[in-house]
Chains A and B, each alone.
Chain A
């Protein structure tokens, strides 16, 4: 009856016309269908417009940085996490540390870390210079941060005397007057400066690795940094020790040891010899 009439009158007419007396069951079913359709619509729209898991809102990595990311995903990701965001209790986030920090840590062999301890030790580097640059480029492009200027010799035309004064004021508290390093609390230490290159010293001042404070360009201007590097490289490393064997430049501790081990021992033997000649 009604169904035959509906078929004949067409779809529009059927929609326009309110069905006279639908049962409560049918009304409820219709509401559920509408709700489902609305939800589908909203969800679909969201799926289309919202950024997906693979979405990129920063520009794609350059070639070197992509290479660096590949290295990162193999060697660093365990501790520094996906996208260098850090892993709680293992490694810090690297967002914003800059290429300077990567260059210092990786080129001096401190990273990758041998084990978790008070402080990383200098080791033979695991990555080549090329790879280090790629890693640094990747971290730089991820979050920005300080960068070491170009070139291997960063102390050309620098003033050694002013560098010495700056060194004694800023560096010798921890690295000692001879640059041999010194102890800090709880197993931490300021390392020896003897193996450090120009770029590493510059990077360390810029990035403040481990317990070192950051010496930004507003604390030590770039030319002052160059002066300090010149003092370390030209004076501390090439000092001829005019007084003879420098006893490790550890100050009066080794001098006290030497007077007993050399002076007193030699003279006790001499007195044994002289007293034996009777």
Chain B
């Protein structure tokens, strides 16, 4: 028999040629695979959201195999003893089965929930990065709008998912959601009864939310994410200003192979962190909440963190009812303002911000270079204001837990939230603005005079001055200082870090190379250790 020669190294090439012969994909793929991505840690925050979405899809598919989205009443007879014999909905019973009787079900449920929290958290952190660096400016306004929509669609995905197990906590959340919908003038009661199929809670809501949660909303999320990423490819990623980087180029790594491999690794890291949290930290212990009954409400019933700001705004809102004397009389309940009007304003303001800023600054140019937050103090300060507003609302959403665990009066917490909501954002604006100006000023000082060395010199006339290490060689100035222009990137502020922007000693958590020993000046002999001397004392303590 003739031995056929098999060359392993040539196989991928041969296969690729075979694929290209049939589909002619080399030309478009080359363009795609050679796409250059700039490398900076803050550009990976959006990837955390993307990867946790992948984990959400994977774990979610697993959960649908065992979840029964029905509100028919069953009597629990699973392995969780304290609920045995309790009547409950099929949805809750199957959630309990996932937690206790399906192999690996609990860790899947917990990973699903943790990755949902992580998805929303990463969206917000990514959004803050985009905002504070001005990456949303022309031509990327569309992507900013899609990103903010992703937050709100994710919000809906989270809320529908939170409602599905039909436990005591999620039923309380649904009750509040139905109250919010009811508070909308004119259409409220029609909206609520069409969603719940009649009066709350009805018998249909879980199946409806299930379809929304596993089909409609994920499809919308996938579509929005695809467009979001497609636009990043099409419009190219923004980059930090620096040597060789201009508004017209992108400096970085090719998409394939290095960038793709790194992203693959980062996906594994995100997956690992979610799996660790799912395995180590208990989330949403539905067996303690019990089945939902309309008369069961627990203390510390909170929504997940990204909805908590609405809970907070509701808690802070004074009970102002607006009666309208039309017909039989009509009342706009106070709940309408913090839970319908406020999110409406937030959606509008956040999506329209790129246009508002461009209009204010009369800026119609395209920007592919990022800005350091300190260089745009007004935007940074507005961002700080928005963040502090959100944080005050979120903390107020948990104010009963904070009041109880830190032994503060709940009434004091509510009033602190009310005053803080009005007082903290302007304060944050002012402080941030001043911080930005101070940082700018220090950058300019270093550029003009050089790095502070810590060496104090006494002049012949008795004055003391600090010696500065100039950033550039003397050019023109009589005192040897040359003023450099600010290019919108990090200015070296420490000695021995000139020329290179990275740390002088390499290594991430600990140095992987020894620092160079300090050179000994010939004029000064090396300092010796202080000789041992006996302390002068009374002599009695020795005894």
Give the contact stretch, choosing among A42-50, A194-202, A210-218, A268-276.
Answer: A268-276
**A186 touching B410, Cβ below 8 Å:** yes
Interface size on A, residues (CB 8 A): 63
- Residue in A180, A271, A278 with the greatest tally of chain B CB atoms within 10 Å: A271
> What chain B residues lie within 8 Å of A72 (beta carbons)?
none
Q: Are A245 and B281 in contact (CB under 8 A)?
A: yes
B118 touches A264 (CB 8 A): yes
Contact with B along A167-193 (1 / 0, CB 8 A): 011001111111011111111011000
Which of A57-65, A78-86, A87-95, A249-257 is the interface stretch? A249-257
A250-B405, A256-B304, A271-B266 known; A177-B290 Cβ under 8 A: yes
A190 to B277 Cα, complex, angstroms: 31
Q: Does chain A have a CB within 8 A of B139? A: no
Q: How many Å lie between the Cα of A235 and that of B43 in the bound state?
A: 47
Select the residue from A118, A165, A245 with max chain B CB neighbours within 10 A: A165
- Interface flags, B455-472, vs A, CB<8A=1, else 0: 000000000000000000
Q: Name the interface residues of B192-238: CB closer than 8 Å to any CB of A.
A: none
B70 at interface by CB-CB < 8 Å: no
A240-B111 Cα distance, complex, nearest whole Å = 19
With known contacts A169-B296, A173-B299, A242–B118 Cβ distance under 8 A = no
Q: Which of B112-168 contact A (CB under 8 A)?
A: 114, 117-118, 121-122, 125, 168
B299 near A231: Cβ-Cβ < 8 Å: no
Q: Is A124 part of the contact surface with B, judged by Cβ < 8 Å?
A: no
How distant is B334 from chain A, measured CB to nearest CB, in Å? 18
CB–CB B121/A274 < 8 A = no
Q: Mark B14-49, 1 if CB is under 8 A from A, else 0.
A: 000000000000000000000000011111110110
In the bound complex, residues from chain A placing their C-beta under 8 Å from that of B42 are 271
A85 to B281, CA, bound (A): 52
Contact A255/B283 with A183-B410, A184-B410 known, Cβ cut-off 8 Å: yes
CB within 8 Å for A185 and B410 given contacts A253-B302, A273-B508: yes
Asked if B247 is at the interface (CB within 8 A of a chain A CB), the reply is no
Asked whether A264 and B125 contact (CB < 8 A) given A172-B298, A251-B301, A255-B284, the answer is: yes
Q: B106 to A243, Cβ gap below 8 A? A: yes
Check: A75 CB closer than 8 A to any chain B CB.
Answer: no
* Contact status B262-A277, CB under 8 Å: yes
Tell me which of A118, A183, A257, A266 has the highest count of chain B C-beta atoms within 10 A of its own C-beta: A183
* Residues 223-264 of chain A, each 1 if its beta carbon lies under 8 Å from chain B, else 0: 000000001001110010111111101111111111110111
Asked if A160 is at the interface of the complex by the 8 Å CB criterion, the answer is yes
B288 to A177, Cβ gap below 8 A?
yes
Tell whether B84 is near chain A: CB-to-CB under 8 Å.
yes
B interface, over-half SS: helix
Report whether B39 and A275 are in contact in the complex, using a CB–CB cutoff of 8 Å: yes
Contacts of A41 in B (CB 8 A): none
Q: Is B345 an interface residue (CB 8 A)?
A: no
List the A side residues contacting B297 at CB < 8 Å.
172-173
Bound Cα distance A235, B296 (Å) = 18
Known: A186-B411, A249-B288, A264-B122. A271 touches B41 (CB 8 A): yes
Contact between A243 and B285 (Cβ–Cβ < 8 Å)? Answer: yes
Decide: B296 and A231 in contact? CB cutoff 8 A. no
- Contact between B282 and A259 (Cβ–Cβ < 8 Å)? no
Is A164 in contact with chain B by the CB < 8 A criterion? Answer: yes
B98 within 8 A of A: no
A223 to B87, CA, bound (A): 21
Q: Which chain A residues (110-132) contact chain B, with CB distance < 8 Å?
A: 118
Asked whether A267 is an interface residue with its Cβ less than 8 Å from the other chain, the reply is: yes
The docked-state distance in angstroms from the alpha carbon of A185 to that of B305 is: 24
B370 at the interface (CB under 8 A from A): no
User: Which positions 274-312 of chain B face chain A at CB distance < 8 Å?
Assistant: 274, 277, 279-285, 288-290, 293, 295-306, 308
Chain A residues closer than 8 Å to B363, beta-carbon distance: none
Cα distance A266–B272 in the bound complex, in angstroms: 11
The segment out of B56-64, B353-361, B396-404, B429-437 that lies at the interface is B396-404
Q: A40: CB under 8 A from chain B?
A: no
Min distance, Cβ A246 to any Cβ of chain B, angstroms: 5
Residue A161 lies at the interface, judged by CB distance under 8 Å to chain B: yes
Whether B72 sits at the interface, judged by CB under 8 Å, is: no
Docked pose: A239 CA to B244 CA in angstroms: 61
**A177 and B411 contact, CB distance less than 8 A:** no
Closest to A163 in B: B82
What is the interface size of chain B, counting residues whose CB is below 8 A from a CB of the partner? 77
Residue of B nearest to A235 (CB): B82
Closest Cβ of chain A to B52, distance in Å, is: 9
Q: How far is the CB of B253 from chain A (nearest CB, A)?
A: 7
**A276, B308: Cβ atoms closer than 8 Å:** no
B383-418 residues with Cβ-Cβ distance < 8 A to A are 394, 397-405, 407-412
CA distance A267 to B271 in the complex (A): 10
B110 within 8 A of A: yes
Whether A183 contacts B285 in the complex (CB less than 8 A), given A243-B110, A252-B305, A271-B41, comes out as no
In the complex with contacts A262-B277, A276-B41, A241-B282 CB distance below 8 A: yes
Distance in angstroms between the alpha carbons of A273 and B288 in the assembled complex:
40
**In the complex, A246→B284 CA distance in Å?**
9
- Chain B positions within 8 Å of A165 at CB level: 86, 290
From B44, B299, B409, B508, A174 is in contact (CB under 8 Å) with B299
Residues of B within 8 A of A251 (CB): 169, 298, 300-302, 401
For A169, give its contact among B253, B273, B295, B411 (CB under 8 Å): B295
B117 touches A263 (CB 8 A): yes
* Cα distance A243–B114 in the bound complex, in angstroms: 12
Could you tell me which residues of chain A, from 131 to 182, have a CB within 8 Å of some CB in chain B? Answer: 160-161, 164-165, 168-169, 172-178, 180-182
Asked if A189 and B283 sit within 8 Å, CB to CB, the answer is no
B400 near A183 (CB under 8 angstroms)? yes
Is the beta-carbon distance between B84 and A263 smaller than 8 angstroms?
A: no
Q: B262 touching A274 by the CB < 8 A rule?
A: yes
CB distance from A232 to the nearest CB of B (A): 11
Set A173, A175, A236, A256: member contacting B117, Cβ < 8 A: A256
User: Within the complex, which residue of B44, B300, B302, B405 is in contact with A274, where a contact is CB–CB below 8 Å?
Assistant: B44
In the complex, A256→B306 CA distance in Å? Answer: 8
Which residue of the partner chain A has the closest CB to B288? A177
Q: Known contacts being A249-B285, A251-B300, is A275 close to B117, with CB within 8 Å?
A: no
Shortest CB-to-CB span from A191 to chain B, Å, is 9
Q: Are B301 and A161 in contact (CB under 8 A)?
A: no
Establish whether residues B45 and A271, one from each chain, have CB atoms under 8 Å apart when the complex forms. yes
Q: B290, A242: Cβ atoms under 8 Å? A: no
Confirm or deny: B438 has a beta carbon within 8 angstroms of a beta carbon on chain A. Answer: no
Contacts A169-B295, A177-B290, A263-B121 given; indicate if A241 touches B300 (C-beta within 8 A): no
Q: Report Cα–Cα, A268/B42, bound state, in Å.
A: 8
Extra contacts besides A183-B403, A250-B401, A271-B41 (17): CB < 8 Å: A161-B83, A161-B85, A161-B86, A173-B298, A173-B299, A177-B169, A183-B399, A183-B404, A185-B409, A242-B99, A244-B282, A253-B300, A253-B305, A253-B398, A255-B284, A258-B281, A275-B43
B residues neighboring A (CB under 8 Å): 39-45, 47-48, 81-86, 99-100, 106, 110, 114, 117-118, 121-122, 125, 168-169, 253, 262, 265-266, 269-270, 273-274, 277, 279-285, 288-290, 293, 295-306, 308, 394, 397-405, 407-412, 508
Q: Which 4 pairs, one residue from A and one from B, show the smallest C-beta to C-beta distance?
A: A256-B305, A182-B299, A243-B282, A271-B44
Which residue numbers of A lie inside 8 Å of B, CB to CB?
118, 160-161, 164-165, 168-169, 172-178, 180-187, 189-190, 231, 234-236, 239, 241-247, 249-260, 262-264, 266-268, 270-278
